[in-house]
Structure 1
Amino acid sequence: MPKKKFSKEWIHQHINDPYVKLAKQKGYRARAAFKLIELLDTEKLMHKGDIIVDLGSTPGSWSQVARERLLGPGGVIDGRVIALDILPMEPIAGVEFIQGDFREDEVLEQLKERVGEQQVDLVISDMAPNLSGISSADSARIEHIVELAIDFATNHLKPEGALIVKAFHGSGFSQLVELFKRHFKRVVERKPQASRDKSSETFIVGKGLKNRS
């Protein structure tokens, strides 16, 4: 009985969520689009001509925002958006998509091949593992995903490039921030207005690689 009540409550909140309504109006696939928009505007990231890698892209709202930001005259993308997710994603015009698990070497190699010799301007990651509710196990899973994203970013970003990842406040969060600080000159924590109040999600943004000229 309490479960049913919770789901009804969640559905009611979701239907009345202003960001859900706004996403429908603007044609975004998920309310998460507004989290990225705020992060990009606050940190002044993503410009025409940029090469963007979107990790954990499905259903595609972050890729939609990236595509929008890169659209030049005549609706042609000025730059590249390469998206990856373990789940299928409905195609988005001009967005290159790879389906696979980012944690697998084979999939990571596919992504590296697609990026090629080009250096990336921005890596964005809304990836989150399936959480078990056991904090030690969950923090280890989150840490693993964030470490992989940092490793990919440090090997493929331009020296002045940036990385945005989703993390969760709690066990292991401060260690992730420290990990970012080892690799990036500027590190900030942001909780966008579109993040639900009850959610512990916090985005970590790293800008400018250390030890790179």
Structure 2
Amino acid sequence: MSRSGRDPGERLRTAKKRSASSARWLNRQINDPYVKRAKADGYRSRAAYKLLELDERFGLLAGVTRAVDLGIAPGGWSQVLREHCPKAKVVGIDLLPTEPIDGVTILEMDFMGDEALTALDEALGGAPDLVLSDMAANTVGHKQTDHLRTMGLVETAADFAISNLAKGGSFVAKVLAGGTDAELLALLKKHFASVKHAKPPASRKGSSEWYVIAKGFKGSGG
């Protein structure tokens, strides 16, 4: 304990070389109950609880035999997939390096690149029942630009899902506040029996992220 009686782990003093924003991020990480829980449970990130909470609400993981984790790094969602679908083939892709996960094929490449679709198809060996996308574009600080860049990733992920999912499969993707754009929402409703938005409790209250959950894939023909 410090002289003030406060646990020094509960508050970080801003070092001279540390920006105010990074200090706030560190404080938030240290005091975040989901971060502490993730460490205790062996998950690589608090994001694991977002998938667990979405599954509890929407039943996404039952009966999954093949799954794709778009934007896998650092690997929390794939850890959940391995726990709840131990016999499923799980393939993840990310530009960022990701530490190996037992039973998960990890492709370190750009999902937007030309080679990605072929690599994913070969690694899966069949149509996936579940396509997950926790991808978000790097922010530049301009709200409209950040939204457009992230939605571009969501649209590409949706196109991949519609082109590759097995009939009856599900698609989950991170979107921003305001939800899915009208054109993409119409496309998802055409191809899926159910399309909903949700903000799992594990998402920070101040975060703009939401998730679109599309279930009951009708087939690429709609």
TM-score under structure 1 length normalisation: 0.88
Relative to structure 1, the CA distance from residue 130 to residue 89 in structure 2 (aligned partners, 3 Å threshold; closer, same or farther) is same
Any idea what SS the aligned residue of 1:81 has?
Answer: strand
Structure 2: gaps of 5 or more residues:
1-15
Task: Name which of 91, 94, 119 aligns with 1:110.
Answer: 119
How far apart are residue 115 of structure 1 and its match? 2.1
- CA RMSD, Structure 1 to Structure 2 (Å): 2.1
Distance in 2 between residues matched to 1:130 and 1:5, nearest whole Å: 20
- The aligned runs of 1:166-177 (5 Å cut-off) are 166-170=174-178, 173-177=181-185
- Say whether 1:144 aligns with 2:152: yes
For 2:128 and 2:153, the matched residues in 1 are separated by 19
Aligned equivalents of 1:157, 1:69: Cα separation in 2: 20
Q: Which residue in the other structure is 1:20 paired with?
A: 35
Partners of 1:174 and 1:33 lie apart in 2 by 28
Q: Which consecutive unaligned segments of at least 5 residues does structure 1 have?
A: 72-77
Paired residues of 1:55 and 1:127 also in contact (CA < 8 A): yes
In 1, the alpha carbon distance for the partners of 2:39 and 2:85 equals 21
The TM-score with structure 2 as length reference comes to 0.85
Equivalenced residue count is 205
1:1-213 equivalences in 2 (<5 Å): 4-48=19-63, 50-71=65-86, 78-116=87-125, 118-170=126-178, 173-210=181-218
Q: Which amino acid aligns with 2:117?
A: L
Higher Cα Rg, which structure: 2
Q: Which has the higher strand share?
A: 1
Q: Percent identity?
A: 43
- Read off the aligned partner of 2:65 and give its amino acid letter: D
SS of corresponding position for 2:170: strand
Q: Distance in 2 between matches of 1:122 and 1:141?
A: 23
The separation in 2 between residues aligned to 1:206 and 1:124, in whole angstroms, is 10
Q: Which has the higher helix share?
A: 1
